[in-house]
């Protein structure tokens, strides 16, 4: 048994790079990470903290981890939103989010699978090419429905019929969740208002598969290379995404595999430019006090802090107030890293804590530019019975540019669905 544990430990170590092996030893055991971890704040077990995970992974590699400790370690490794806060505050600057993902990959490769909820989600993504388990033929229907309902100035062309310089990659959530399709519709309308020529892939749009990387699935590299080839073959020059998870996927995860990852922009970066150039014109006042939630994948992981704030501040009469934790120290909503799939109750508690922080600002609403954070924050509102509103950033801009394309109008026209939390 001890010999088997040692061999398995060596196998796992082979899939960590040299820097990561050094980082394991470099931990100063100072515990600063425990003061900031949003999950540890809800479940104060050492295995949840970065310090605890690092200690247990060290023991796993040398074969000395007991069966009981191994169970705890696996809980700690997967009950982690990979938010990266521990990396920011760590005096040794251990790159924890990368280490957690690579450790998950190494464990899976050594025959130790992810928790059941994550396996289920990964199987759906690989089987259907989307995280909703729906036929790909339905992926582009939002655009046709939006045109039929009069929300768009023209029908958004399919890339296969009319390629253009810009590809709008709507992502699984805005494509398939009827209550989230407003994000895709509003993005398309705002781009049209600014005169941007763009196309969508429709049923050819793949899942970005960032979740495969988050959860350590060994199929990630090959699948990402397939998608990169698809983009290159279609001659795409710029890819716009409206989800922080898709940005992290296509821009950051593909970075080492595909030079084209540089072509990927989050839509808030484009909005900022269009506003600056006078192409997107804000007109109506939006008299609201809002606070901004930095998605981890956009903020801490990619340092996109200012563009969404500049967009909000361009909206007439809108007042932006900051939460105590913002920018690099922004507390996570708990939706990343497969935490929700592994332990939904824990995600709800993490999100509830973020909502309380947003309430403390006195704001009327919390705004985020990510579909996933939007849904995550709604769980927090439900958990705390808060009266705080949650908005996607698109909603603030659309109220000022073309208020007739409101989320409420789109929901009513599409299905009458309100967001249904799962
Ligand atoms: S990545 Fe975030 S959730 Fe995971 S251990 Fe670090 S601070 Fe905690
Ligand atoms: S902050 Fe960094 S060095 Fe300190 S205990 Fe956590 S991981 Fe180790």
Cα–Cα–Cα angle for 319, 382, 332, nearest 5°? 65
Among the bound ligands, name the one nearest to the CA of residue 90: 2
Q: What is the pTM of this model?
A: 0.94
Q: Map out the domains of the chain with their CATH numbers.
A: 2-113 (1.10.1060.10), 118-271 (3.40.50), 282-414 (3.40.50.11810)
Q: State the residue for tokens 């430990």.
A: 9
Distance 28 CA to ligand 1 centre (A): 17
Ligand in nearest proximity to the CA of 27:
2
* Nearest residue to 315 via CA among 387, 242, 391, 377: 391
Task: Give Cα separations from 170 to 11, 120, 142, 143, 201 (angstroms).
Answer: 39, 23, 10, 10, 9
93 C-alpha vs ligand 2 centroid, how far in Å?
8
Q: Is 50 near ligand 1, meaning CB less than 6 Å away?
A: yes
Is ligand 2 within 6 A of the CB of residue 30?
yes
List the structure tokens of 348. Answer: 């709800």
Strands 289-292 and 264-266 come out as unpaired
In angstroms, the CA 12 to CA 14 distance is: 5
Neighbours of 311 (CB within 10 A): 26
Instruction: State in Å: Cα 26 to ligand 2 middle.
Output: 9
Instruction: Tell me the pLDDT of the chain (422 aa) as tens digits.
Output: 677 888 899 999 999 999 999 999 999 999 999 999 999 999 999 999 999 999 999 999 999 999 999 999 999 999 999 999 999 999 999 999 999 999 999 999 999 999 999 999 999 999 999 999 999 999 999 999 999 999 999 999 999 999 888 999 999 999 999 989 999 999 999 999 999 999 999 999 999 999 999 999 999 999 999 999 999 988 888 999 999 999 999 999 999 899 888 899 999 999 999 999 999 999 999 999 999 999 999 999 999 999 999 999 999 999 999 999 999 999 999 998 889 988 999 999 999 999 999 999 999 999 999 999 999 999 999 999 999 999 999 999 999 999 999 999 999 998 744 444 44
CA of 334 from ligand 1 middle (Å) equals 10
193: Cβ–Cβ under 8 A, 6 or more apart, which residues?
A: 153, 280, 281, 401, 402
The minimum-distance atom of ligand 1 relative to the CA of 33 is 7
Q: 185 in ligand 1 pocket by Cβ < 6 Å?
A: no
């Amino acid at each position: 048994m001890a010999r088997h544990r040692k061999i398995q430990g060596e196998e796992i170590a082979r899939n960590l790079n040299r820097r990561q092996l050094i980082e394991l030893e470099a931990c100063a055991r100072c515990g600063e990470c425990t003061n900031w971890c949003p999950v540890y704040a809800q479940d104060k077990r050492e295995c949840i903290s970065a310090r605890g995970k690092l200690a247990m992974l060290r023991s796993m590699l040398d074969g000395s981890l007991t069966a009981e400790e191994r169970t705890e370690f696996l809980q700690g490794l997967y009950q982690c939103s990979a938010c990266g806060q521990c990396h920011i505050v760590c005096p040794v600057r251990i790159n924890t989010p990368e280490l957690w993902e690579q450790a998950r990959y190494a464990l899976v490769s050594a025959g130790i699978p992810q928790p059941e909820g994550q396996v289920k989600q990964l199987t759906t993504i690989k089987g259907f090419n989307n995280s909703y388990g729906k036929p790909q033929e339905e992926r582009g229907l939002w655009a046709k429905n939006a045109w039929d309902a009069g929300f768009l100035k023209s029908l958004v062309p399919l890339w296969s019929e009319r390629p253009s310089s810009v590809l709008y990659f709507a992502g699984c959530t805005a494509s398939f969740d009827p209550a989230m399709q407003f994000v895709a519709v509003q993005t398309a309308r705002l781009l049209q208002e600014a005169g941007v020529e763009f196309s969508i892939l429709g049923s050819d749009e793949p899942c970005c598969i960032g979740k495969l990387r988050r959860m350590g699935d060994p199929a990630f590299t090959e699948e990402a290379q397939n998608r990169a080839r698809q983009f290159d073959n279609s001659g795409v020059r710029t890819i716009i995404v409206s989800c922080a998870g898709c940005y992290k996927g296509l821009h950051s995860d593909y970075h080492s595999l595909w030079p084209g990852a540089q072509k990927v922009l989050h839509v808030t970066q484009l909005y900022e430019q269009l506003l600056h150039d006078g192409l997107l014109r804000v007109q109506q006042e939006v008299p609201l006090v809002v606070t901004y939630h930095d998605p981890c994948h956009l903020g801490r992981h990619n340092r996109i802090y200012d563009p969404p704030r500049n967009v909000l501040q361009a909206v007439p009469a809108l007042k932006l107030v900051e939460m105590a934790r913002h920018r690099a120290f922004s507390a996570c909503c708990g939706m990343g890293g497969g935490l929700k799939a592994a332990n939904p109750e824990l995600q709800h508690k993490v999100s509830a804590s973020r909502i309380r922080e947003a309430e403390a600002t006195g704001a009327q609403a919390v705004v985020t530019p990510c579909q996933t954070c939007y849904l995550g924050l709604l769980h927090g509102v439900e958990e705390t019975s808060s009266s705080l509103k949650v908005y996607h950033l698109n909603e603030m801009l659309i109220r000022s540019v073309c208020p007739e394309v409101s989320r409420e109008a789109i929901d009513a026209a599409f299905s009458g669905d309100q967001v249904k939390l799962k």
